[in-house]
């Protein structure tokens, strides 16, 4: 959990956010690092990791834990849903015709206070389908 001290939007954080915003693929930290290095050649992988974690802890970006794969990052922290390729792990946003909220799907949360919902669709992306 991030401390309560003042948050500074450093130039490194700003560049990381800009590169994340430009990526429609929900990149891994390594992929963000490769993009950011084009603009900030001296930045380290550790700095990118720490800043992604800080931005996620502050709710500025969203961290996606992908089963069996590397953690991915999403520029959009708002509630929305994803589809993940079961072959290559690519993640994309999906729009539901009828948005789902926890109170619509949970009849009895078993005493839990539900603070969010995470739903992921599984499929095969166009690139992997074309290789089959």
Q: In CATH, what number is assigned to the domain containing residue 123?
A: 3.30.1490.190
68 and 17 in one domain? yes
pTM of the model: 0.76
Q: If we measure between CA atoms, which residue out of 23, 19, 29, 26 comes closest to residue 93?
A: 26
Could you tell me if 89 and 110 lie in one domain? yes
Task: Tell which of 53, 73, 93 closes a domain.
Answer: 73
| Domain coverage including residue 67 | 11-73
Of 68, 86, 99, 97, the residue nearest 125 (C-alpha): 86
Contact 64, 71 (CB under 8 A): yes
Residues 19 and 69 in one domain: yes
Instruction: Rounding to the nearest 10 degrees, give the CA dihedral for residues 120, 126, 127, 130.
Output: 140
Residues 30 and 68 in one domain: yes
Q: What average pLDDT score do residues 61-78 get?
A: 86
Quick one: pLDDT at residue 5? 63
Residue 119 has pLDDT above 50, yes or no: yes
d(CA 97, CA 86): 23
pLDDT value, residue 39: 96
CATH of the domain at 56: 1.10.10.10
Residues 94, 106 contacting (CB under 8 angstroms): no
Q: Let me know whether 63 and 86 are in one domain.
A: no
Whether 29 contacts 52, CB under 8 Å: yes
66 — pLDDT class (breaks 50, 70, 90): confident
Q: How many structural domains compose the chain?
A: 2
Which band of pLDDT confidence, cut at 50, 70 and 90, is reported for residue 1?
very low
């Amino acid at each position: 959990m991030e401390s309560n001290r003042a948050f500074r939007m450093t130039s490194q954080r700003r560049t990381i956010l800009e590169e994340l915003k430009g990526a429609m693929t929900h990149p891994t930290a390594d992929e963000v690092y490769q993009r950011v290095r084009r603009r900030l050649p001296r930045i380290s992988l550790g700095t990118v990791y720490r800043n992604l974690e800080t931005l996620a802890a502050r709710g500025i970006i969203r961290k996606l834990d992908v089963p069996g794969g590397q953690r991915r990052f999403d520029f959009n922290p708002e509630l929305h849903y994803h589809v993940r390729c079961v072959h290559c792990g690519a993640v994309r946003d999906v729009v539901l015709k009828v948005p789902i909220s926890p109170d619509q799907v949970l009849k009895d949360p078993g005493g839990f206070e539900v603070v969010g919902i995470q739903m992921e669709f599984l499929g095969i992306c166009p690139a992997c389908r074309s290789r089959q």
